[in-house]
Structure 1
């Protein structure tokens, strides 16, 4: 019995006995006993999960890939099921398409290529589905939604499903201030469907990731015990730029959590056979460097090192050339507004990311459809991550954690 298994909550073991049997873990628990696991749980106030105000957090240690996914799925079963039910595109568009001949072929191709490239993360997804008791196909479609969107036969649906989540980042790296500050924006349906995953892998690497329910950790932001941190900005290449069945972005960002340093992270981000594109903001607190990386299919990428000139990224390519993309009014308007405001101090940066002066296309979003879920401050001078709620200019800290050496 691994340490990860010992940390599962006894209440779930009792309530979901059938699922334990189905997963092949139940008999292992009976044979090995749970006394040591329960003792460890009681040492942590009787639970294997802690809460950080509105965003719950799960801590996992010594896990194999499937087991970690299973533990997350089991604990957040209600949240994952709720997200599947409330997702604006899953039941109306993605599932019907997946039941067509074209959709089945595309999902099969995506599955084959991503499973072969990232077998461990594929096992995490299987565990997530088994632990939460939801159909594996639904979990796959959540994680492949952007890779599928370009191939939807309905052009309007394709544009809507493929539209990037509206995230904003301001990056700056000088002697006085070295930060990545990130607004995590998304559909309003995600408001109550996010959690933190704080995991120590069998390799010894520990990571902390803000995660949307049902997704691999993390399509949002995270960092690991090697001092590598990242945030993400979605982009939307034109449909003709998307390769069917290529590597999915959620698998790439999950792989970033394994990075040992900035060079390793840059290599992991620039996958040759990507399906679609993405933008990565990557920090190495040990080497004190920040980069923005823009990627696209067919092995195209561009790397920009950040210096003392503040750099803003929303949801359009800025320095990767010769990639056709869909222009989004929101990104254009946000970029214009950000360029008008000072960004030389953390206070100024937070004020910019909290700006809502443009009611139609604000930087800080409060609905009705798009919502700023939280703001993350990765600070290299402080070697810390702070997660803020509400308007970032108010500096309301929800969760803070030391990055390197990592707080456990």
Structure 2
């Protein structure tokens, strides 16, 4: 039994500051967090019970190879980053890529378990005068607990990289062990702040871009138009579904928060389906792990039931107008079946592994490793921008 199952919730998140090429940054991540990556690969039930057995079949290998070829064409720099992580941690590359394909492999092969244990995150954006907050619970399968770390990276390339011709990236991201940055909550030096909610589309697609690579690409976005372009992924499109909550700290005019729902490029479609909602001053955003606007069929089961419960709980509160309101909502455990803050009980499939509060006025990022209603943040990070606010 992996040791993580015996040590309970730890109030600890390590951080790595690194700079270099994509491969060098990936290598430093793998070398620094090798023990956490090995532990996670051993503990991951989806990887060991679903993804790897399917990978060993001819049909599974075909889905893997055609998806890998798609990513290699459009985002080769992120594969080099992943190769660096695999080399630094001394783990097989294919195991890491299978984690990044996520539910695509079983879904395409009709093996669903997809995302059937209510795993997912809850996000609250509060856009009120003097209080501009993006709050997020990072919820994941139980084995992710204590397998997270921060990566603060500065990547500079001699030549433009990937389909968006990126030459420089500077970001800080909370990461699952062995996973690329960008998939949980993050910010970059352009002042782009965002969090991620998974959505389980009923039909997913191989030979398309897995959502992990779209969220990784977001770390280079300079503005809202670029973020939309990255998520639309014209010419290819997403292989699975995701929802992004975002704002730009250095935008002109009023504070705006956006939620973008992203749907897979199914059939002849060659770009992701997008639906955008914008919260102006005085408005707010609640989002969990279901589509609120896109009319795309989704998996039934616990992820839908959990999202319905969490949305009902959020909507039972008055509209949030302060950071304390956001914390109260994200720490709520009033629903005994599917609470917003999900505790680390032995019988729980899903845990809240961290809570983040971005304060857009004070430019801070507070991270909690336990319920924010009853605990102080483990760290308050400054959100450092390339272009200082005037």
TM-score category, normalised to shorter length: 0.7 to 0.9
Structure 1: distance between partners of 2:375 and 2:125: 18
Give the Cα–Cα distance (whole angstroms) in 1 for the partners of residues 118 and 261 of structure 2.
14
CA distance in 1, matches of 2:317, 2:110: 42
> In the alignment, is the contact (CA less than 8 A) between 2:16 and 2:29 conserved in 1?
yes
Q: Which residue of 2 aligns with 1:396?
A: 376
Contact 1:171 1:179 in 2 (8 A): yes
Q: Tell me the CA shift for residue 310 of structure 1.
A: 2.1
1:70–1:130 Cα contact (<8 Å) kept: yes
How far apart are 1:153 and its partner, in Å? 3.9
Q: Per the alignment, in what secondary structure is the counterpart of residue 135 of structure 2? A: strand
* Structure with larger RCO (C-alpha < 8 A, sep 6+): 2
The alpha-carbon deviation at position 389 of structure 1 amounts to 2.3
Larger radius of gyration: 1
Match for residue 211 of structure 2? 249
1:222 is aligned to 186
Q: Indicate yes or no: 2:322 matched with 1:345.
A: yes
**Alignment partner, residue 60 of structure 1:** 18
Summarize the Cα distance change of 1:406–1:374 in structure 2 as closer, same or farther, 3 Å threshold: farther
Task: Give the corresponding residue for 1:198.
Answer: 152
Structure 1 residues 130-139 or 52-61, which shifts more?
52-61
1:363: which partner in 2?
340
CA distance in 2, matches of 1:141, 1:168: 25
Q: TM-score, normalised by structure 1?
A: 0.82
Shift of residue 151, structure 1, vs aligned partner? 2.1
Q: Does 1:261 align with 2:216?
A: no
More helix by share: 1
Which one of 168, 174, 183 corresponds to residue 128 of structure 2? 174
- Number of positions where the alignment pairs a residue of Structure 1 with one of Structure 2: 349
Q: Distance in 2 between matches of 1:256 and 1:160?
A: 24
| 1:108 and 2:83 aligned | no
Q: In structure 2, what is the Cα distance between the partners aligned to 1:211 and 1:60?
A: 14
Contact 1:269–1:280 (Cα < 8 Å) also in 2: no
Aligned: 1:129 with 2:93: no
C-alpha distance in 2, partners of 1:90/1:270?
Answer: 28
Shift of 1:260: 1.2
Q: Which runs of 5+ in 1 are unaligned?
A: 1-51
- The C-alpha deviation readout for 1:247-275, integer Å capped at 9, x for no partner, is 01111111111111222222212223111
Query: Which residue number in structure 2 is paired with residue 284 of structure 1?
Result: 248
C-alpha separation in 1, matches of 2:101 and 2:27: 20
Match of 1:331 among 280, 283, 307: 307
Residue 20 (structure 1) aligns with: none
Whether the 8 Å CA contact 2:126–2:326 is kept in 1: the answer is no
1:378-402 C-alpha deviation (Å, 9 max, x unpaired): 1111122111221111351112222
* Cross-structure match for 1:8: none
From 29, 45, 49, the counterpart of 1:92: 49
1:377, 1:385 within 8 Å by CA — same for their partners in 2? yes
Partner of 1:397: helix, strand, or coil?
A: coil
Deviations 1:239-296 (A, max 9, x none): 2xx2222101111111111111222222212223111111001110011332100011
**Structure 2 unmatched runs, 5+:** 1-9, 157-166, 266-271
Using the TM superposition, give the Cα deviation of residue 146 of structure 1 relative to its aligned residue in structure 2, in angstroms. Answer: 2.2
